[in-house]
Amino acid sequence: MNTIQTLHEEAMDLAELADVAKLRGELDCHHTLLGQALEKSVAAADALRSKLDAEPTRALVHRSAASLAVELGQFEIAERLLAIALAGNPPPEIAEELKDLFVQINLKSYFARRGLRLDTDRWELLKAG
């Protein structure tokens, strides 16, 4: 578990550095750091994939990795991570967060497939719940 914890902590540190870079307007650096954070976060999640007795850590690490993937626009990776997390035994409150994130990343494409468009304000309102 020590390697997993180290990977996760490194990923979160990189994500924080990415946020700082974004605030500074360094968007290329922001994107690069987020990509590095996602790699480490996915590695930690993959190491926990079959450890169903490692809840809630397993679900939390998968949620963090999925959130990074969403921020990078890598929705297929996010969906895979969320499905794996939900296939375990996450605590109910974390399961709800995982489901909310899944809906959030799929709602826009759901509406688009049906020819429906939401203006930015309504989209933000839906995302906020």
17-68: per-residue pLDDT in tens?
999 999 999 999 999 999 999 999 999 999 999 999 999 999 999 999 999 9
Residues 117 and 108 sit within 8 Å (Cβ to Cβ)? no
Rounded Cα distance, 109 and 76, in Å:
12
- Mean pLDDT, the chain, rounded, equals 91
| CA proximity to 57, closest of 89, 18, 19 | 89
